[in-house]
Structure 1
Amino acid sequence: MKDLHSFGWYAGKIKPDLPNEAFDPVPARLWGGLAYLLVTIAGLLTIGLLSINPIFYLGISIILGCSFAALGFLGHEILHGTVVRKPWLRDFLGAIAFWPLTTGPRLWRKWHNLTHHVHTQHEEHDPDAWPTFEKLAKSRFLRWIYRLPLGIRAFFSFCSLSIQFSAHSMKMFTVYLKEFNPKKRPAVLIEAILPWMTWIGLLVWVGPFKWFFMFLLPLLIANLIVMGYISTNHRLNPTTEVNDPLANSLTVTVPKWVDFLHFNFSYHTEHHLFPGVSSKYYPLVKEQIKKRWPERYHEMPMGSALVALWKTPRLYYQQSELIDPSKGTLFGSLGNGLDPKNIQSKGLDTLDTLKAFQERKAK
């Protein structure tokens, strides 16, 4: 693996070439959020108050799911402090934006801002990092999962994208609640409960049939969109001891109109270099990165990244490789031999390693 540098090292070199206004909050981003909020309310009222052909409910559900996802992207930006700076207003607006995804602002900042961003792709400390080969021997469930052929695992993994964000958010709630100051835990609990009270209240009001189109299906669609990005953010990259965004993060490319609708969420390496800068300015950050370190920078079309995810396993081996225990084969990671256009695997390097692998698989 190439020499690694911290995100601060890169940011320090790029910052002088960015305009001063890039470091100011951009409250104008809220206009986009207002548009999505109005679309969401209109969609919910249309399904809730009108009795029309269910095919129209389906169309509205798709629009609602896209709006839920886009509000989540804006909420992510808001809670990084790049839209407004006042803490109470930041958390209030972030709570509204994340309401459909049922994630509270305090939990998100603890999990995402203070842990994931600080320990990105660290195999022990990043709550979003995928497991290592060493953890396989310690988990009967993982051993069962990774006995399945890669194609079957990939199929179910992609299907699970429709629930992964919500499921992981619930897991993070149980993990981090105890780490909050006891005086702040009631607020964290309220932020977690209130959105669900809203959606369960909606179920009581409209019944299960309409609720499916008003919340459940849109939530699945939103999960799928959000996880389409999140699954490509780091899962093809190596784990790293040093938090080097050019090594451990991937920027995907999508059509410009999609970037507009999704608040430039595709610029993920740029986000990890400057999480306190509005994504409005990430194209400028990208220009500076590619000017200085083009050989280190990882980007690819979203479709290519998803195909590469399908064809590679999600279990890390010695940080820079991905291992498929069902066959005992290795794949490179980005910057370490993985060519998304020609994905190749290889056998384990040594007899000792193979023996260790076989012994663990047999347990």
Structure 2
Amino acid sequence: MVSTVKFTNTGRSQFFSTVRKRVDTYFTENNVSPNANGAMWTKAIFFLTGYGLLYGLILSNQFGGWAMLGMAMLLGTFAAFIGFNVAHDAVHGAFSRHGWVNRLLGYSFYLLGASPYVWRIMHNVVHHTYTNIPGHDEDIDVAPGLIRLDPADEVRPWQKYQHLYAFPLYGLTSLAWVFRKDFLKMFKDKIGQYDTTHETHEYVTLFVTKAVYYLLFLALPLLVLDVAWWQVLIGFVAMHIVEGLVLGLVFQLAHVVEGTSFPLPTPNGNIEEAWAIHQLRTTANFAPRSAIAAFFCGGLNRQIEHHLFPKICHIHYPAITAIVKQTAHEHNLPYLESPTFSSALVSHYRFLKQMGQTPSTRLT
């Protein structure tokens, strides 16, 4: 496997320069900042306040077991929505023009039990550069050996059922983050084929913040709630199953549906098209006209716009979608989208089923 991938723009496409110029013109002519506006700040306050309120109500010890379980599951959804709507934009540097504001809001990833530092490397650097490239984009390594997403991977007998068992596995996404994934990535020499080195204080920060999270969400409930330890554990796991399912589904519907590609570089490490065109071929939108999807998914239902312009706050994606779509069509390039969340879900289901049965495309 090649260790370095280069995008060569063999066709000399002018797509990205054109669409970038048009998007810049939109912001200039309308005197609009590409960062957060009042509506965006309102969303952030809503989700952060809701999260804090739910956590406080649970610890108030004023409710029965079933009510607290329901609030724990709702807390999991708010955690996922904070990830989509606050932390994600902030870590991309899109929330504010002030770096300190982005750093502060990026810390909200800790509310999910995840490390913003590890996320920045895995997502901003690796995933956004090498989207859907096997061996480089680790976001497509979902439960390796159990779920097959890469057409070049060997097909295993049990994977013909992956369209059935994949969805419950998505529910383990955030539990994996909390207890395993961040630690694993910090102690690997590479993420994908990207060489990683970390300063000592990043290791200290990781262990300290994880310990605080375990204290707040496991130890403290055990101390203050009039419930058994196993009830606390059930609530914790239920919270993360809901959080993981929401996170997993939204991210999968953006890159793992019918029509998205998983290109392999040439033997000398080239992807023989422009990076922006690669993003169009590997990324898909869903429910682009749904105000509900836009509100809760943090613009990730317009993943194409996000991948092309990650430093633009997602609150502006509805305004630039028509620009991107028209420019793609003018250059005879794909623009993949499912009209609704349910149609994208069905497309993902069919993709999983096909990948569980289609022979490997790997050359032998």
TM range, smaller chain: 0.7 to 0.9
Q: Is residue 162 of structure 1 aligned with residue 196 of structure 2? A: no
> Is 2:297 the partner of 1:297?
no
Q: Which residue among 56, 79, 83 is the counterpart of 2:95?
A: 83
- Distance across 2 between alignment mates of 1:206 and 1:12: 49
Code of the residue aligned with 1:25 in structure 2: it is N
Match of 1:221 in 2: 242
Match of 2:306 in 1: 271
Work out the CA distance in 2 between the residues paired with 1:121 and 1:4.
Answer: 22
- Partner residue in 2 for 1:309: 348
Partner residue of 1:52?
63
TM-score, length of structure 2 as denominator length: 0.74
Q: Which residue of 1 aligns with 2:117?
A: 106
Work out whether residues 119 and 126 of structure 1, in 8 Å CA contact, stay in contact via their aligned partners in 2: yes
Residues 18-64 of structure 1: CA distance to partner in whole angstroms, max 9, x if unpaired?
21355542264344223222222222222222242323223312321
Q: Is 1:25 aligned to 2:40, yes or no?
A: no
Contact 1:290 1:297 in 2 (8 A): yes
Gaps of 5+ in 1: 137-142, 315-321, 331-347, 357-363
SS of corresponding position for 2:157: coil
Return closer, same or farther for 1:309/1:288 CA change in 2, 3 Å cut-off: same
Partner in structure 1 of residue 267 of structure 2:
none
Q: Which moved more, 1:239-248 or 1:173-182?
A: 173-182
> Which residue is 2:49 aligned to?
38
| Alpha-carbon contact 1:199-1:215 (below 8 Å) kept | no
Q: How does 1:1-363 map to 2 (within 5 A)?
A: 8-9=16-17, 11-20=19-28, 24-26=34-36, 28=38, 29-73=40-84, 74-95=86-107, 97-130=108-141, 132-136=150-154, 146-148=156-158, 150=160, 152-167=161-176, 170-171=180-181, 173-177=183-187, 178=189, 179-182=195-198, 184-191=199-206, 193-207=208-222, 208-209=229-230, 211-212=232-233, 215-236=236-257, 237-240=260-263, 241=271, 242=273, 243=275, 244-253=278-287, 255-294=290-329, 296-300=334-338, 301-313=340-352, 323-324=355-356, 327-328=357-358
Which of 1 and 2 has higher RCO (CA within 8 Å, sep 6+)? 2
Task: Give me the whole-angstrom Cα distance separating, in 1, the residues matched to 2:183 and 2:111.
Answer: 16
The worse-fitting range, judged by mean Cα deviation, of 245-254 and 191-200 is 191-200
- Aligned-pair distance for 1:173? 4.4
Determine the structure 2 residue equivalent to 1:343: none
The 2-side partners of 1:7 and 1:125 are apart by: 25
- 1:210 and 1:52 map into 2 onto residues whose CA distance is 13
The amino acid of 1:312's aligned partner reads F
Amino acid at match of 1:252: F
SS of match in other structure, 1:124? coil
Q: Distance in 2 between matches of 1:27 and 1:199?
A: 34
C-alpha distance in 2 between matches for 1:133 and 1:265: 25
Do the aligned partners of residues 233 and 288 (structure 1) sit closer, same or farther apart at CA in structure 2, a change above 3 Å counting? same
Aligned residue pairs total: 313
What CA deviation, in whole Å up to 9, does each residue of 1:165-189 have, x standing for no partner? 442684354235445544x242244
Query: 8 Å contact 1:232–1:309 — kept in the other structure?
Result: yes
- Residue 340 of structure 1 corresponds to none
Contact 1:10/1:273 (8 A) holds in 2? no
AA partner of residue 266 (structure 1): N
Give the whole-Å Cα distance in 2 for the aligned partners of 1:209 and 1:298: 45
- Give the TM-score normalised by structure 1: 0.75
Distance 1:186 1:292 in 2: 45
Contact 1:104 / 1:191 at 8 angstroms: preserved in 2? yes
User: Cα gap change, 1:9/1:125 in structure 2, threshold over 3 Å: closer, same or farther?
Assistant: farther
Q: Deviations over 1:58-113 (max 9, x none)?
A: 33123212211111112001111111244444223211x21232222221111111
Deviates more, 1:40-49 or 1:274-283: 40-49
- The one-letter amino acid of 2:212's match is M
- Give the direction of change, closer, same or farther, for the CA distance of 1:118–1:98 in structure 2 (3 Å limit): same
Contact 2:287 2:301 (C-alpha < 8 Å) held by counterparts? yes
Backbone CA RMSD of aligned residues: 3.2
Moved over 6 A (4+): none
SS of residue paired to 2:246: helix
Measure the CA separation in 1 of the matches of 2:359 and 2:152. Answer: 15
Secondary structure, counterpart of 2:136 in structure 1: coil
